[in-house]
């Protein structure tokens, strides 16, 4: 898997990737429902802090978001 710095994506591409991630079935934000804009903001902050990374999987030709821990487990 290749890591892609979020700064290298266009604003539209980054927005689309984050929106797809936060609206994906199975994404859990706890017992309370969280507004879409708040979820997007939270993921963007995690990207800036380096807690969440953008990765490209060459085998499946897909791009997604993983936590540092998830990436380490997949290697």
pLDDT value of residue 74: 84
Which alpha helices (DSSP H) does 1-75 contain, by range?
A: 11-23, 36-49, 68-74
Of 72, 74, 66, the closest CA to residue 24 belongs to 66
- Cα distance between residue 18 and residue 54, in whole Å: 10
pLDDT value of residue 32: 62
Three-class DSSP category at 24: coil
Residue 64's CATH number: 1.10.10.610
Q: In this predicted model, what pLDDT tens digit does every residue of 44-74 receive, in sequence order?
A: 999 999 999 999 999 999 999 999 999 999 8
Q: pTM of the predicted model, to two decimals?
A: 0.81
How many structural domains compose the chain?
A: 1
Q: What percent of the chain has pLDDT over 70?
A: 88
pLDDT at 27 over 80: no
pLDDT at 2 over 60: yes
Q: Which residues constitute the domain of residue 23?
A: 2-74
């Amino acid at each position: 898997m290749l890591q892609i710095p979020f700064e290298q994506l266009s604003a539209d591409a980054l927005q689309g990737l984050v929106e797809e991630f936060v609206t994906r079935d199975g994404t859990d934000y706890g017992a309370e429902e969280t507004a879409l804009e708040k979820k997007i903001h939270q993921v963007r902050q995690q990207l800036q802090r380096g807690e969440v990374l953008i990765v490209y999987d060459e085998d499946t030709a897909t791009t997604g978001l993983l936590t540092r821990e998830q990436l380490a487990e997949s290697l």
